[in-house]
Amino acid sequence: MSKLLLATTNRGKVREYRHLLGGLPFEFVTPDEMGIEIAVEENYPSYEENARVKATVYAGASHIITLADDSGVEVDALDGEPGVRSARAAGEEASDRDRVECLLSRLKNIPWEKRAARFKCVIAIAIPEGRVDLCQGECQGLIAFEPRGESGFGYDPVFYLPELGKTMAELSLDIKNQISHRGKAAREAYKVLERLAEKVKS
């Protein structure tokens, strides 16, 4: 079975991708499992560029098909911030809790009706020869006044879904993957990986 590198050290992402892409004929591996230690700077102004660079660098280092993503939360009241800086908005060494608290502090006096936000995800799939495919997903919601739920990671505890009456962190993994930005992007990525798997077989 061919290997597919999930180019992330985020265990929450690894768990979700193994669930989302589970039907594919690939053995999913992580940089840690392959002994790859690379720090890829994600300083580009778009999710697409960050994901593309990360996937390309890791595919070159591993010599196998690689999936990388970049994602973030965009809040209307903050003019689309933190956006591509979502993971670094509270500092390079910040925890998920730090990031959530930083976002809530910035929205302290913003009323419910002005807390619209969206999660965005771009997945890049790179082959060692250089080709890259991009897949995108988006999920609309609101930023809650306080964290709720124990599942998920990142900003999930404050990303509220009005149609479900729950935050992303209150959902089961099955339901989250049906509606999330990452789930939507992964369904497109699944099709790309199916085609690549066929090429590897032939």
List the domain boundaries for the chain.
Answer: 2-201
Note down pLDDT in tens along the chain; length 202 residues. Answer: 799 999 998 888 999 999 999 999 999 999 999 999 888 888 899 999 999 999 999 999 999 999 999 999 999 999 999 999 998 888 888 899 999 999 999 999 999 999 999 999 999 999 999 899 999 999 999 999 999 999 989 999 999 999 999 999 999 999 999 999 999 999 999 999 999 988 766 5
Torsional class of 57: left (φ above 0), alpha (ψ -120 to 50), beta (otherwise): alpha
Distance CA 133, CA 193 (A): 10
Distance between CA atoms of residues 125 and 59, nearest Å: 9
CA distance 102 to 183: 26
Residue in 172, 186, 140 with CA at minimum distance from that of residue 159: 140
Cα–Cα distance list, 81 to 36, 76, 91, 102, 106 (Å): 32, 8, 15, 12, 10
Please tell me the predicted confidence (pLDDT) of residue 202: 55
What does the pLDDT read at residue 201? 64
| Catalytic one of 32, 69, 70, 79 | 70
CA distance 106 to 165: 23
pLDDT at 12: 87
Instruction: Answer whether CATH 3.90.950.10 is correct for domain 2-201.
Output: yes
Known catalytic residue: 70? Answer: yes
